[in-house]
Amino acid sequence: MKSIIKIVGEDYIISSLPKSYQKIQPLKNRDTLPLVRINLELGVWQYLPSSLQTAGTMYLHQLLQDGPLVISTYSPDWNEYGERHLKLLNGIYPRIRALGGNLLVLTTEYFKNIVHTIQEHDLGFNIVQDYENRISEALGVYSKYEPVWDRIAGISEDVPFAATFVVNADRRIVYNYVDPDFEYVVSDKEIEKAVKIARLFG
C-alpha cells in the first residue's frame, strides 16, 4: 500500500490506496465528512449561518451550524441530465430549509458562470466553484483515474460523477446517492427523508 497525500484547499487528507487505484470511492452512510476548506469568494451564498457571513474561508462542516447539510455535485457539461438535476434541487430546497437544513451545490463552472446559472434557473441555494474538483475528490466522487468522459457518451470535460449526500450535525453521512451512469437523478423524497433523519440523529 502506498500513502497518498491529497491537498484540499489548505488542508491535507492522507489515505492509503493501492498503487493501481482507479475507481471512485464515494463516502458511504456513517462515514465522516472530511475536513475541507472552501474559499467563499468562489461561490454565490444565498444562505449562510450568521457567523460565516463575513468570513473569507470556511470549512465545509461549518455549514452544519444551523442544521443538516445536503451536498450535491453539478456540471453544465452533464447536459440535459444537469438541467433535470438542478430543477429537482430547486424544487426540494424550500422543504430542506423548512426542516432547518441547508443545501450546497459544487459545480465545475467558473464564478462568473455560476451567477448566470442562478439567474437562468432562478436558483435559491448556495453554489460554489469546486476548483479542480478538489471537494468532489474528497467526497470520493471524482478521480482522474476514472474520468466521466471515458464512461459517458456526450460528456467531454473533466467533471465529477452525479452525487448527493446528506450530513448530520456530527459530520456523519446519513444518505448518499451516486449515479455513475447518469440515468436517474436523485429522489427528492429520499432527500427529504434523509434530512429528517439527520435532524433526529445528529
What's the pLDDT at 13?
Answer: 47
Hey, CA dihedral for 93, 95, 99, 100, is it positive or negative? positive
Report helix, strand or coil for 153. Answer: coil
pLDDT tens per residue across all 202 residues of the chain = 344 444 444 454 444 444 445 689 999 999 999 999 999 999 999 999 888 888 899 999 999 998 999 999 999 999 999 999 999 999 999 999 999 999 999 999 998 899 999 999 999 999 999 999 999 999 999 999 999 999 899 999 999 999 999 999 999 999 999 999 999 999 999 999 999 999 988 6
Q: Using CB atoms within 10 Å of the CB of residue 193, give its burial: 0 to 12 exposed, 13 to 18 middle, 19+ buried.
A: middle
pTM: 0.88
Distance separating alpha carbons of residues 44 and 148, to the nearest angstrom? 26
